[in-house]
Amino acid sequence: MLFQRNARLRALPSREFTRAVVVSLPPWAVVTPERRAHVERVAAVLSTWATAMRAPEGERARWLEAAWLHDALRDAPAANELAHGPLAAERAAHDGLTDRGVLDAVRYHSLGFAQWDDVGKMLYLADYLEPGRTFDQELRRSLAARVPAERDAILKQVAARRIARVIDGRWPLLRETVDFWNALVGY
């Protein structure tokens, strides 16, 4: 259920709510200007959705924190398509981030993750639907507009499209992606 986890966290005097929220790229980020622009668009999309969905402030902050962190090491020398999410999550944890949902959102944003809470799902959607990507612009714009009212239905559509691309490219489907898809369809 939307925001459930956040409501639970907000009831606790958690460290997460005394720690400054990341509102831009972290100082250790290694990103090209194009990557930075992508990250800014992902954050902007998530902010728009948070407003439309009347997300509580703490939840909006989690979505934005995940947005700023997710590709922060994408252009680092040690990074690649599979490694950059885990690398950023590990670095953020090292810096004191303890929100498991935000860390899992960042870690698995390229693959999907069956145990995601709202922040992982929202980041996965925004990463694909942000308006700067050049493919399928009209379709993606219409899917993005429907997210606030039909989040779970659009999540299935986006996952299906992303997974189809993996299959079309004859790349392997990793276990996390298969488990994510099965969870989405209730298997």
Question: What's the full length of the chain, in residues?
Answer: 187
- Shorter beta-carbon distance to Fe ion: residue 15 or 165: 165
**Could you tell me which stretch among 2-10, 64-72, 167-175, 177-185 binds Fe ion (CB under 5 A)?**
64-72
Single residue of 16, 71, 99, 118 touching Fe ion by CB under 5 A? 71
Least distance in angstroms from the C-beta of 106 to Fe ion: 9
- The piece of 45-53, 71-79, 148-156, 171-179 that touches Fe ion (CB under 5 A) is 71-79
Tell which residue, 49, 25, 72, 52, has the closest CA to residue 121.
49
Q: How far is the CB of 33 from Fe ion (least distance, A)?
A: 16
Residue type, 67: A
Beta-carbon contacts of 126 under 8 Å, excluding residues fewer than 6 positions away, are: 42, 45, 46, 49, 63, 67
Q: Output 75 or 179, the one with its CB closest to Fe ion.
A: 75
For residue 180, which of 98, 123, 96, 97 has the smallest C-alpha distance? 123
Applying CB under 5 A, the residues found at the interface with Fe ion are: 71
